[in-house]
Structure 1
Amino acid sequence: MAKHGRIDVLINNAGYGLFGAAEELSDQDIDQILQTDLVGSVQMIRSLIPVMRKQGGGRLIQISSYGGQVAFPGNSLYHAAKFGIEGFVESVAQEVAPFNISATIVEPGGARTEFRYGSAHVAKLMPEYDGTPTHAFLKMLDPANGLAPGDPDKMAARIIETVDQKPAPLHLVLDSRARQATIERLTERLKEYQGQAEVAKSTDIED
C-alpha cells in the first residue's frame, strides 16, 4: 500500500504438510499447523478485505490443495486445515462479491516443490500403525520412489492467468490426477447424499 497505493491481488500461500495418525500428533503439532495453514490464511484475507473494499475491488487467491476436497489417512490435521480454509473462502467470496472482490481457491495436486521433501513435518510415529494405510505416506515422502508429477512453474502460470478471468473460478484444480481424484470423491459423496432422502425427510417437522 505504501509503495503502490492499492493491492489488486492477494496470493495466500502459507502452508506445510503434517503427516501422522491423529493419535500420533502432539498438541503442539496440531496448534502449529492450524495456526499456519488455517488461521494465518484467514487473518491475511481479513486484513485485505477492507483495503480491497475501499478501493472498489480485488482478487483473493487462496492456495489450498486437492486435499481440501479429498482426504487420506495419515493427514487428518492437514485436511482439517484445508477443508476449513475452503469453507471460509467459499463463505467470504459471497460476502465480498457486492464490493467487486472475487475469490479463487487453488487446489494443486503433488508438485515438485519442497512440500514433500523439505517442509513436510512427520509426527512421532507409533509402531501400531506400521503396515497400515496410515503410514503409506512414508513411501510418498521418499524421493527414491519418484518425484511428484506437477510442474510448479506451469501451476504458477495457470494461477496468474486466472487473475483477469471473469467470472473468477471459485475452484481451480491443478494436476490431472488431482482432478480425477476430486471428481471421484465428489461423485461418491453426492451418491451418498442422494441415497439419504428418506432418512433426511424422516427428521422434518410434520405440518
Structure 2
Amino acid sequence: MNTSNRIWLITGVSGGLGRALAKEAAMQGETVYGTLRKPEQISAFNELVPGKTFGLQLDVNHHNEIKTVIEQIVSKSGRLDVLVNNAGYGLLGAIEELNMDEARMQMETNFFAVLAMTQAVLPIMRKQRSGHILQISSMSGLRANSGTGLYNASKFALEGMSEALALELQPLHIHLTLVEPGPFRTDWAGASSVTARNKIDDYEISSGARLRQLQSISGKQPGDPAKAAKAILLAVNSEHPPLRLILGKVALDAVREKFRTVEEEFSKWEAVSLNTSFED
C-alpha cells in the first residue's frame, strides 16, 4: 500500500487506544478522521494534530448515519485507505446475571456496528483495489474468562467474521488485521465498561473475584497505548501485514497457554474424535 498520506477512519477516538493510534498515525503524516459520539469532543480532536486530525460525530450503533460520514470523507479526501473499527466497550458480569437487553447491546456495539461500518467501506476499497481494515479485537477474542462472557462472545464473533472476510479480500489486494490487545492502560475496565445490574451471590467466587481484580488494576495496566499504536503502524506499513497482531506479554502468554491446553485435549480425545466415520 502507498504509505504517503493515507486517509484513515478510526471509530471511537475520545480516548484510549483509538486516540493514541489517531495521534501516532497523524504524527507520521497520515490524514486521520475520527468518530466521536459527543459534538463537544470534536474540537479537541481537531487540535490533536492540527491539519491532520478531523473529528466527525457518529454513534456507530446508528447505522443509517455511517454512509453519510464515509461520503463526507471521500468527498473531501477522494479515497479511504485504512479503516480502524475501534469503538466498543466491555460488559462485565456472569452469564446468568446478564439480561437480554444488556447482552444484545454488547453484540450491537462490538459486532453489528463493526459489520455495518466494514460493509459500508468495502465498496470504496474494492474500487481502489487497495485498503487495510483493522479490527480492534482483544485477547478475549481468543481466550474466554469468567465475568466477561458476553464481551468474549462479541469478540469471538468478530474474529470469526474477520477470518472469513480476510480470505474474501485476498484477491482484491485489501488487507485485514485483527488487533488483539491484552490489558492496556485505558478506561476499558473503568468508566468505559458497563456492569450487569443483576447480582447473584453464587458467582462472587468466580466472576465476581475476577471483576474485582480487573477493576483493581484499572489505570495500572502494563500496556502502553502509545507503544501499541506504534506497533499497529508497523503492521499497517508492512509489505505482508499479519492477520493477527497480539499486543502485550499478558495477551501473548495467555493465548499460547490456551492453544497448548486445547492441543492437549485434542490429543487426549483423538481416538474418540476419529472414531465417528462410516465403516466403508
Please tell me whether residue 141 in structure 1 is matched to residue 215 in structure 2. yes
SS across alignment from 1:114: coil
Which letter maps to 1:57?
Answer: S
Post-superposition offset of 1:86: 0.5
1:20-49, Cα deviation, whole Å (9 max, x unpaired): 111111111001100000111111111111
* Corresponding position of 2:260: 187
- 1:139-194 Cα shifts (integer Å, max 9, x gaps): 32135x87111101111111122112121101101111110011000111122123
Distance (Å, rounded) in 1 between the aligned partners of 2:240 and 2:89: 30
Pair 1:201–1:139, CA change in 2 (3 A)? closer
Letter in 2 for 1:126: I
Q: Which runs of 5+ in 1 are unaligned?
A: none
Q: Tell me the equivalent position of 1:6.
A: 79
In structure 2, C-alpha distance between the alignment counterparts of 1:107 and 1:68, rounded to whole Å: 7
Residues 160-175 of structure 1 mapped to structure 2, 5 A cutoff = 160-175=233-248
Q: Quick one: which amino acid aligns to residue 154 of structure 1?
A: K
Query: Which residue in the other structure is 1:60 paired with?
Result: 133
Q: 2:186 aligns with which of 90, 113, 129?
A: 113
Aligned mates of 1:203, 1:90 — CA distance in 2:
28
In structure 2, how many angstroms separate the alpha carbons of the residues matched to 1:42 and 1:71? 22
Q: Point out where structure 2 has 5 or more consecutive residues left out of the alignment.
A: 1-73
Q: CA deviation at 1:111?
A: 0.8
Distance, in Å, in 1 between the alignment partners of 2:265 and 2:223 is 31
Question: For residues 175 and 207 of structure 2, what CA distance do their matches in structure 1 show?
Answer: 37
SS, match of residue 245 in structure 2: strand
Moved over 3 A (4+): none
1:92 paired residue number: 165
1:80 pairs, out of 148, 153, 157, with 153
Does the Cα contact within 8 Å between 2:185 and 2:219 map onto a contact in 1?
A: no
> 1:129 pairs with 176, 192, 203, which one?
203
Encode CA deviations 1:64-100: one digit per residue, 9 max, x unaligned.
0000111111111000000110011011000011000
Displacement of 1:205 after TM fit?
2.2
The Cα shift of 1:128 comes to 2.4
Specify the SS of the correspondent of 2:279.
Answer: coil
1:5 is displaced (CA, Å) by 1.2
Name the counterpart of 1:156: 229
Shift of 1:196: 2.7
Q: Which structure's relative contact order is higher, taking Cα pairs within 8 Å and 6+ residues apart?
A: 1
Cα distance in structure 2, aligned partners of 1:79 and 1:13: 16
Deviation at 1:63, TM superposition (A): 0.2
Amino acid at match of 2:202: E
TM-score by length of 1: 0.94
- Report the more deviating stretch, 190-199 or 107-116: 190-199
Distance 2:278 2:130 in 1: 43
Residues 186, 219 of structure 2: 8 Å contact kept: no
Aligned residues: 205
Conserved 8 A contact 2:183-2:223: yes
CA contact (8 A) 1:74 1:134 kept: yes
Q: What is the identity percentage for the equivalent residue pairs of Structure 1 and Structure 2?
A: 38
